[in-house]
Amino acid sequence: MSTHEHSTNTPRAQSSRNGIFLDRDYFRTLNGILKIPEMILDIAAFICASVWQDTPFLQTYRSSAAGWVMFATMSAFITTLIITFLHLFRIIYKLPGPWGLIEPIYCCAYSVMMLIAGIVAAVDAKRYGFFESSITATACFTCSAFAVYCVNTIWLFICWCRSGTPTEETVTTATRTSTISRTTYEA
């Protein structure tokens, strides 16, 4: 007589949307990777614009042009930082609203703001003959930030069209398989 016993235990995959926790894989996604240069370029442009604002020979014009660049870059930095933390701790999936659509719209708005800030800085750099290096650096950083925000906007829009979520979500899957085989021979 032969007896064969086979047992398989496979738990169902749990979606990573359950609970709030630190998503260590967020900065491995394209959305997470793009957030880092966005924030670095925002801070660099803000610092250069604040140096540009304190330039002595630009006393009459400094408040409007440099002020706009400082507003655009700092508001973009703060918003991007908040969105990054919402993604990093998976809170964004718990919030009501169509975040798959909201995030590309915010990225598009900051793309336009960075474009305008870059044009304002480039016009000032041209006006003063590239004399003040902080104006030129501000123009370079804001134009670079414009490019990164555009790439992020396009990526988020593609993700939204595919799935309705702000990013291609990483799903952690735990699978455990155990097999027990027992064969018995009787004479």
Residues 32 and 26: beta-carbon distance below 8 Å: yes
User: Mind listing the pLDDT tens digit for each residue in 49-87?
Assistant: 888 766 665 555 556 788 899 999 999 999 999 999 999
Judge residue 181's burial from the number of C-beta atoms within 10 Å of its C-beta, 0-12 exposed, 13-18 middle, 19 or more buried. exposed
User: Mind listing the pLDDT tens digit for each residue in 33-55?
Assistant: 999 999 999 999 999 988 876 66
User: Mind listing the pLDDT tens digit for each residue in 99-111?
Assistant: 889 999 999 999 9
Domain assignments of the chain as residue spans, ordered by start: 24-171
Confidence bin at 166 (pLDDT 50/70/90): low
Residues 149 and 107: beta-carbon distance below 8 Å: yes
Nearest to residue 90, comparing CAs of 26, 162, 159, 34?
A: 26
3-state secondary structure of 109: helix
Nearest to residue 83, comparing CAs of 67, 97, 69?
A: 97
Contacts with 20 (C-beta within 8 Å, 6 or more apart), sequence order = 89, 90, 91, 94
Whether the predicted pLDDT of 18 surpasses 80: no
Whether the predicted pLDDT of 1 surpasses 70: no
pLDDT confidence of residue 16: 46
pLDDT confidence of residue 171: 44
